[in-house]
């Protein structure tokens, strides 16, 4: 029987010209499915339908339908299906240049003109009109910049140039440092880590990836599918206007828009990749890509980060400068992974017979035999550090792994040892993750000590791999879920797992519910849902209830060994009065779990109503990066008090700002009467009259209606004038003082000569 597939005529007509970018998926049949449509094109259709996790096929109508986010009362937002920046801004009534850039009257080349680059740290203000969750997300985004680059931020203290984060309509920014203070909007639904990073990158001087000069070599823009009046969002820049900093086109950039941006038909994309595998990658909103970080560090000439002290995956023979202890009686050894036996964690599941780790053999020797592996000397900037590493103890349960710190003893010598934490063996011989908080303010080393604990012969040892040391707080809690692929295979929609009960720094009990295939109320398939709930605990009688103004943060760890390249999936919401118990409008779900929750014998506690995301992450995304390395899923749940961020706005020094003159592209385009064809290349001819700078004596050039105008430097005693600041003049008051001083000196000298003459 010949299979039949009904496809909407309009889609197929357009599809005839859109199918060349799709990669084939094998369809076994001997007859054409539709007259005039080849197997290849039908294969293209099917592949694209199933590679785009945000698309489904309605088999009643045969139409390709892009899933629109649906939010249940128990959902904080639509999770991975949440709307992206273009849709958020259009819904807010904004038609900004390229979707989220507010232009100034003078077009500035922020990438090439270094005068518009920021000096660090960047002063910032969190306006009081921001949502509380947005404030928390912005501060977390700052930490990502500090971890992966030399970019830094500081609270505003009267500086002339700064960024004020506000809640206006939508998500938008200006490009580069305008040197007068500038707004950056994190509006409704913009309070998400990757969106905040995207807007800050604009402020740092970066444009969208799809506006690169060589864009058309890598993606196809379907101009006839772009909504009328939105063509300006797809213009490219000439390479004398922007620079790619000698980096390749980045499909994975957080600055790239997704396939369905500004489309007039929700079923047909406007951007597609010429390498089909990237069709469901462009527009990712996890975190910076590797190339994003490379460009940022090149642009600002970063040689180190602010908060990354050390990391090592032991793949090189120098083992990252670590040294063997001199007071022990054994050594650690760099070993190569053996599949099925002692596998390396860095490349586990990726390459056979590859990858290295550090190993202390407890199979031989006497009880108490020890080996010490020490880091190089490190110089902290903060007073708290987090040591994260993977380890497993495959020998006796009596074997021990001890973490030490060797500090400066006050004389400049790093010799003073302090024990921090001890790990012991158990029946679980698999890789585990560990977090150890260090509190060191002076130069130091950290060290791993292996101790043989069993007098008998064992068949294993202690393994350590994928170390990172950052000057950030350690996760408050870790939920380690093993054999996740098997969980997916043996569960259906609505099945769930409860995490253990965790305690926040304040003492609140809380937990996480994992739905491998999503909640029953969700209409979506192939998504994992994750929700947060409170648990009754030992501190409930002394805590503040309801627990409002707390931020719940759930993060799925990307187990990429290089911490700078990790793209973990993180989502958050803030508890508020609006989140009431279902059917009980006068009771908050953040009240005591004893009141709002149900008893769970597994934790001997009450678990409250949950709140979170039914589409937290797609199964495809889970398998795209290293979320499931070794089939392990790690979730970091946090519950933090943000009450201190309710009032954050500070008064600013009055300075003339050209923010009010920001031009929305639609108005500008209407005035200039530029059609879509001209819009395609309208920025190619932009020149910067201030590049090179015509002003002398450190004068600042300002673009005024396309012509250079010099703003001359003035000091306390003199100032420069002239069209190019070429002439120097002395202030009248200073000149008067100088003349008066000279005249006084002459009179005094004459008086002295007269006195001497009388003698």
Residue 428 in marked binding region: no
Residue 562 in marked binding region: no
Closest by Cα among 664, 669, 676 to 95? 664
List Cα–Cα distances, 181 to 195, 201, 381, 436, 656, in angstroms. 21, 16, 28, 40, 9
Q: Taking the mean position of all CA atoms in its chain, how far away is CA 562?
A: 15
- DSSP, collapsed to helix, strand or coil, labels residue 497 as strand
User: Please, are residues 337 and 348 in contact by the beta-carbon 8 Å criterion?
Assistant: yes
Residue 465 in marked binding region: no
Q: Cα separation of 671 and 665, whole Å?
A: 10
Residue 202 in marked binding region: yes
- The CA-CA-CA angle for residues 402, 636, 285, to 5°, reads 130
> Using CB atoms within 10 A of its CB, is residue 350 exposed (0-12), middle (13-18) or buried (19+)?
exposed
User: Please, are residues 128 and 647 in contact by the beta-carbon 8 Å criterion?
Assistant: yes
Give yes or no: 199 in active site. yes
User: Please, are residues 437 and 470 in contact by the beta-carbon 8 Å criterion?
Assistant: no
E strand map for 330-426: 333-336, 356-361, 370-374, 385-393, 400-408, 414-424
Pick the catalytic residue: 80, 197, 199, 335? 199
Q: Other CB atoms closer than 10 Å to residue 13's CB: what's the count?
A: 9
DSSP-derived pairing of the beta strands 550-556 and 569-574? antiparallel
Closest by Cα among 51, 191, 174, 165 to 103? 174
Render 144-188 in DSSP notation, one character per residue. Answer: HHHHHSS--EEE-SS-SS-EEEE--SSEEB-SS--SS-EEEEE-T
Q: Cα separation of 138 and 195, whole Å?
A: 10
Q: Cα separation of 613 and 128, whole Å?
A: 27
User: Please, are residues 589 and 609 in contact by the beta-carbon 8 Å criterion?
Assistant: yes
Q: Which residues are annotated as a binding site for Zn(2+)?
A: 100, 198, 202, 208
Known binding positions: 100, 198, 202, 208
Catalytic sites, residue numbers: 199
């Amino acid at each position: 029987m010949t299979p039949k597939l009904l496809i909407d005529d309009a889609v197929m007509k357009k599809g005839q010209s859109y199918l060349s970018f799709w990669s084939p998926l094998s369809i076994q049949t001997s007859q054409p499915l539709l007259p005039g449509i080849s197997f290849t094109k039908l294969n293209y259709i099917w592949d694209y339908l199933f590679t785009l996790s945000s698309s489904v096929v309605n088999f009643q109508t045969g139409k390709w339908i892009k899933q629109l986010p649906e939010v249940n009362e128990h959902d904080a937002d639509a999770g991975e299906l949440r709307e992206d920046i273009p849709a958020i801004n259009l819904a807010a009534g904004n038609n900004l240049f390229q979707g989220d850039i507010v232009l100034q009257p003078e077009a500035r080349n922020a990438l090439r003109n270094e005068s518009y680059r920021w000096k660090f740290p960047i002063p910032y203000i969190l306006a009081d009109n921001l949502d509380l969750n947005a404030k928390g997300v912005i501060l977390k985004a700052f930490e990502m910049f500090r971890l992966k680059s030399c970019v830094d931020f500081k609270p505003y203290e009267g500086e002339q140039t700064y960024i004020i984060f506000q809640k206006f309509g939508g998500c938008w920014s200006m490009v580069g440092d305008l040197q007068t203070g500038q707004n950056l909007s994190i509006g409704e639904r913009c309070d998400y880590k990757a969106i905040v990073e995207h807007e800050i990158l604009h402020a740092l001087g970066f444009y969208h990836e799809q506006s690169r000069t060589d864009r058309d070599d890598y993606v196809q823009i379907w101009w006839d599918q772009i909504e009328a009046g939105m063509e300006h969002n797809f213009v490219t820049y000439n390479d004398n206007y922007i620079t790619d900093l000698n980096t390749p086109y980045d499909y994975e950039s957080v600055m790239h828009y997704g396939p369905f941006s500004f489309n007039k038909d929700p079923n047909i994309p406007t951007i597609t990749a010429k390498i089909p595998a990237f069709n469901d990658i462009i527009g990712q909103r996890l975190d910076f890509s590797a190339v994003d970080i490379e460009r940022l560090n090149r642009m600002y000439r970063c040689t180190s980060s602010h908060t990354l002290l050390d990391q090592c995956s032991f793949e090189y023979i120098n083992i990252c400068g670590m040294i063997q202890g001199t007071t022990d009686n054994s050594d650690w050894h760099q070993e190569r992974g053996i599949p099925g036996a002692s596998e390396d964690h860095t490349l586990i599941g990726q390459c056979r017979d590859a990858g290295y780790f550090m190993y202390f053999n407890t199979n031989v020797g006497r009880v108490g035999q020890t080996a010490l592996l020490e880091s190089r000397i490190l110089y902290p900037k903060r007073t708290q550090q987090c040591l994260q590493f993977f380890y497993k103890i495959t020998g006796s349960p009596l074997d021990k792994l001890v973490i030490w710190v060797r500090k400066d003893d006050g004389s400049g010598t790093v010799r003073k040892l302090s024990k921090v934490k001890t790990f012991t063996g158990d029946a679980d011989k698999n890789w585990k993750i560990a977090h150890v908080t260090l509190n060191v303010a002076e130069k130091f080393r950290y060290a791993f000590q292996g101790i043989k604990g069993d007098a008998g012969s064992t068949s294993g040892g202690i393994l350590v791999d994928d170390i990172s040391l950052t000057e950030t707080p350690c996760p408050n809690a870790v939920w380690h879920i093993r054999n996740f692929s098997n969980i997916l295979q043996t569960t259906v929609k609505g099945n769930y797992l409860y995490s253990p009960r965790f305690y926040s720094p304040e003492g609140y009990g809380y937990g996480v519910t994992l739905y491998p295939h999503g909640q029953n109320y969700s209409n979506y398939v192939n998504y994992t849902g994750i929700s947060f709930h409170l648990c009754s605990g030992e501190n409930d009688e002394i805590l503040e209830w309801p627990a409002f103004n707390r931020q719940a943060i759930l993060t799925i760890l990307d187990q990429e060994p290089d911490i700078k390249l990790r793209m973990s999936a993180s989502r958050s919401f803030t508890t508020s009065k609006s989140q009431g118990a279902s059917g009980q409008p006068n009771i908050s779900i953040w009240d005591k779990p004893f009141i709002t929750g149900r008893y769970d014998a597994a934790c001997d506690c009450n678990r409250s109503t949950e709140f979170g995301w039914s589409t937290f992450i797609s199964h495809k995304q889970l398998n795209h990066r290293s979320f499931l390395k070794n089939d392990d899923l790690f979730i970091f749940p946090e519950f933090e008090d943000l009450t201190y961020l309710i009032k954050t706005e500070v008064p600013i020094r009055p300075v003339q700002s050209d923010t009010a003159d920001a031009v929305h592209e639609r108005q500008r385009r209407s005035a200039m009467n530029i059609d879509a064809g001209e819009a395609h290349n309208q920025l190619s001819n932009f020149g910067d009259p201030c590049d090179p700078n015509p002003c002398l004596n450190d004068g600042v050039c300002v673009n005024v209606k396309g012509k250079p105008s010099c703003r001359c430097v003035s000091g306390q005693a003199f100032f420069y004038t002239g069209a190019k600041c070429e002439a120097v003049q002395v202030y009248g008051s200073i000149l008067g003082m100088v003349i008066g001083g000279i005249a006084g000196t002459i009179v005094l000298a004459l008086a002295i000569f007269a006195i001497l003459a009388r003698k």
